[in-house]
Amino acid sequence: MAKRVPARDKLPRQAANTVIMAEHRAFMRRFDRLFAGGLALVDKVNRYFGGGGKQEAERFPPALAPFYEQERKKLGTLVLQIAAWLWLERALRDGDMSAEHVAAEKKKLILTAKASPAAAEGPETQPGAAAYRRYFAQLPPGYRLLAQEVEHFVHRLRHMDKEAASAAAGCRHSPNPVTVQWQKLHRAFGRKK
């Protein structure tokens, strides 16, 4: 199946004549691997909660069950956010949505939730941090590894968004160097009528 390239008129005006390498990441095979890996992770979390995770939850002590349920909901929500992010990027890549529309939809996503204590921000002395880490350490190893895997994937997506945002900001504030060189060449060697 041939991939459609978004029409230049669907790109933001300042990016229409600018080559932004972060945008091209979505057009490469690398995005296909990221997309497949992300959906596989979503499926892996779903299978865990429907199978082994469900059985492990039944064996929890009563004090740990509410904590696990809260963490399960948090991880499930985060995985849905990952899937939404991936589908938005794919829609942009396939030309089904404009860059502005994708950006507006991405603002609704919350990819900052913490899936594991290792990813939690703030000092160790933060209220509740020690208790959270203690409870999290009691969760099954399979869940903890899955939470860390999801958090790592979210970190990759946030990094890609930051790259794209800095590239877009750069194109608004500085001219395209290729265009500048082209204009210089045209002025120096262009035909005069």
Could you read off the pLDDT of 152-167 as tens digits, one per residue?
A: 999 988 888 787 777 6
SS (H, E, C) 116-185: CHHHCCCCCCCCCHHHHHHHHHHCCHHHHHHHHHHHHHHHHHHHHHHHHHHHHHHHHHCCCHHHHHHHHH
pLDDT at 84: 94
Cβ contacts of 98-104, under 8 Å, gap ≥ 24: 98/6, 98/10, 98/11, 99/6, 99/10, 99/11, 99/12, 99/15, 99/23, 100/12
Q: Which domain holds residue 134?
A: 22-120+127-189
Q: What CATH code is carried by the domain that includes residue 107?
A: 1.10.8.930
Looking at the domain assignment, is residue 70 inside a domain? yes
- What is the predicted pLDDT for the residue at 81? 92
5 lies in some domain:
no
At a CB cut-off of 8 Å and minimum separation 6, what does 64 contact?
Answer: 135, 138, 139
Q: Is residue 112 part of a domain?
A: yes
Is position 41 within any domain? yes
pTM above 0.85, yes or no: no
In a domain, 132, yes or no: yes
100 part of a folded domain: yes
pLDDT reported for residue 2: 47
Q: pLDDT digit of tens for each residue in the chain (193 aa)?
A: 445 444 444 545 544 455 554 555 545 677 888 899 999 999 999 999 888 777 777 787 888 888 888 888 899 999 999 999 999 988 888 888 888 898 889 888 877 656 666 555 555 556 677 888 888 888 888 899 999 999 999 998 888 878 777 766 655 555 677 877 877 887 788 765 4
pLDDT digits (tens, 9 = 90+) for 91-130: 888 888 888 898 889 888 877 656 666 555 555 556 677 8
Residue 11, domain member (yes or no): no
What percentage of residues in the chain have a pLDDT greater than 70? 70
Query: Considering its fold, how many domains does the chain have in total?
Result: 1
Residue 2 within a domain: no
